[in-house]
Amino acid sequence: MSRIWSALIALALVAPAAFAEGIDTRSKKPDTPSRLHGLTTMLPMPNGGFLTVGGSNLRMLAPGGRQFTSLHRIPKDSLYRVASNKAGDVLAAWEKDASLHYFTGTPRRHVTLPKPKPPTDELWDFQVGSLAFLENGRDVLVHMEGHKKPRGEVSIAYRVPLDGGAPELLYRVEEGRQLDRSRDVALYLIPERPDQPCEHRTCNPVRAVVAYELTAHGVKHTVLLDGRATLVSNARMIWGNTDEQVFLELSLERNERAVLRWRPGQPKADIRPFPKFASYDERLFSTNSGDVLQLLNHQEEALVIHRHTPDGKQETVRLPASNDPDTIDSNLHALGLRKNGALWMHWGDFVLLFDVNLARNPRAYSVEPLLTRRTEWADVAVYVQEPEVLWIGIEVGRGRDFARVPFAEMEKRAKPWRAVRSTSTEFD
Map residue 416 onto helix, strand or coil.
Answer: strand
pLDDT tens sequence across 222-278: 999 999 999 999 999 999 999 999 999 999 998 899 999 999 999 999 999 999 987
Q: What is the CA radius of gyration of the chain?
A: 22
User: Percent of the chain, pLDDT > 90?
Assistant: 69
Give Cα separations from 223 to 188, 244, 253, 385 (angstroms).
Answer: 10, 17, 21, 34
135: left (phi over 0), alpha (psi -120 to 50) or beta: alpha
Cα dihedral across residues 417, 337, 302, 400: positive or negative: positive
pLDDT tens sequence across 83-104: 999 999 999 999 999 999 999 9
Question: Which of 19-28, 301-310, 395-404 has the least mean pLDDT?
Answer: 19-28
- Residue type present at position 392: I
Contact present, 144 and 158 (Cβ < 8 Å): yes
Euclidean distance between CA atoms 301 and 347, whole angstroms: 13
pLDDT tens sequence across 31-67: 888 898 888 788 999 999 999 887 899 999 998 887 8
Pick from 311, 267, 320: nearest CA to 289: 311
What b/e string do you get for 326-362 counting C-beta neighbours within 10 Å, with b at 16 or more? eeeebebbbbbbbeeebbbbbbbbbbbbbeeebeeeb
Contact present, 295 and 330 (Cβ < 8 Å): no
- Residue type present at position 407: F
246 forms beta bridges with: 262
Q: Rounded to 5 degrees, what are φ and ψ at 6? A: -70, -40
What b/e string do you get for 27-59 counting C-beta neighbours within 10 Å, with b at 16 or more? beeebeeeebbbbbbbbbbeebbbbbbbbbbbb
- Residue type present at position 272: R
4 versus 315: which is more confidently predicted? 315
Residue 227: CA count within 13 A, CB half-sphere: 19
Residue 18 confidence (pLDDT): 35
* Residue 205, preceding peptide bond in cis (omega within 30° of 0): yes
Residue 13 scores a pLDDT above 50: no
Q: How do beta strands 99-104 and 90-94 pair?
A: antiparallel
Q: How far is CA 30 from the centre of its chain?
A: 29
